[in-house]
């Protein structure tokens, strides 16, 4: 990266910018296509509206939970983001309101598909406590600059500082599996849901001296 990139935690005031980055990063992504595709063709205005509603829902949950929402900025522009949660995180008090709003925007069929998949994904987590990277998105125009790696390294740092055994995440493309392997991750589970295949990957971290191990 030739330009100066600032990695820092974001706040609720950054919410719309976070969603903008995620929408650009995840348009046409297999998970999103699986959830939304039956209702709208990828790339269509309807698809993009549903994608935004879904990613607003996810972003609002992380912000309401006070979980790490970390961004990479180039100057004043947000160019990459990661949303993570601690081991065994519980839903924030606002979840019922957020779910009601998301169901109204997404429709019953899409919302129930999301809810079903998220339940399956929750059951994939490693046995030892790991920081979970739920979403990591980089603007397509910024691919290949090491921004995703920088955010993963920040997640590893946070995991070590909070007593986690490591970091884990899921991906739905074989290309991403290889990218994460180069960052030190290994596949520990693979599942298929109809036409959607997901891989769970994890990497260990060295806990900082004096840090108490995170409990499950």
Asked whether residue 213 is assigned to any structural domain, the reply reads no
What is the percentage of the chain residues whose pLDDT exceeds 90? 84
CA dist 95 and 99 (Å) reads 6
Asked whether residue 197 is assigned to any structural domain, the reply reads yes
Lay out the sheet containing 69-74: strands in order across.
5-9, 69-74, 77-85, 130-138, 166-171, 196-204, 186-193
The dihedral over CA atoms of 100, 105, 106, 112, expressed in degrees to the nearest 10, equals: 10
Q: Which two tokens stand for residue 86?
A: 């601690």
Q: How confident is the model at residue 43 (pLDDT cuts 50, 70, 90)?
A: confident
pLDDT attached to residue 40: 80
Bridge partners of residue 167, in order along the sequence: 131, 203
pLDDT attached to residue 111: 96
The domain spanning residue 158 has which CATH number?
3.40.630.30
Query: How much is the average pLDDT of 129-146?
Result: 96
Strands 130-138, 77-85: pairing is antiparallel
Host domain of residue 77: 5-204
Return the higher-pLDDT residue of 115 and 213.
Answer: 115
pTM of the model: 0.93
Number of domains in the chain: 1
Has residue 133 got a pLDDT over 90?
A: yes
* Weakest mean pLDDT among 32-46, 114-128, 149-163: 32-46
Asked whether residue 139 is assigned to any structural domain, the reply reads yes
Bridge partners of residue 171, in order along the sequence: 199
Asked whether residue 216 is assigned to any structural domain, the reply reads no
Asked whether residue 94 is assigned to any structural domain, the reply reads yes
Asked whether residue 191 is assigned to any structural domain, the reply reads yes
Asked whether residue 98 is assigned to any structural domain, the reply reads yes
Asked whether residue 214 is assigned to any structural domain, the reply reads no
């Amino acid at each position: 990266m030739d330009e100066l990139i600032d990695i820092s935690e974001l706040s609720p005031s950054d919410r719309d910018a976070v969603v903008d980055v995620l929408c650009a990063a995840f348009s046409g992504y297999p998970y999103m296509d699986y959830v939304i595709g039956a209702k709208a063709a990828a790339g269509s205005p309807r698809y993009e509206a549903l994608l935004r509603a879904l990613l607003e829902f996810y972003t609002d949950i992380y912000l309401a939970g006070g979980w790490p929402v970390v961004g990479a900025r180039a100057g004043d522009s947000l160019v990459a983001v990661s949303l993570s949660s601690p081991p065994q995180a519980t839903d924030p008090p606002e979840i019922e309101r957020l779910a009601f709003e998301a169901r109204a925007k997404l429709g019953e069929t899409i919302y129930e598909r999301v809810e079903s998949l998220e339940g399956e994904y929750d059951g994939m987590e490693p046995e030892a406590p790991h920081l979970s990277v739920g979403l990591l998105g980089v603007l397509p125009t910024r691919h290949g600059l090491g921004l995703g790696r920088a955010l993963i390294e920040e997640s590893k740092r946070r995991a070590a500082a909070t007593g986690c055994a490591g970091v884990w995440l899921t991906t739905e493309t074989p290309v991403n599996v290889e990218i994460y392997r180069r960052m030190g991750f290994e596949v520990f589970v693979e599942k298929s849901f109809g036409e959607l295949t997901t891989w769970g990957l994890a990497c260990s971290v060295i806990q900082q001296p004096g840090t108490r191990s995170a409990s499950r």
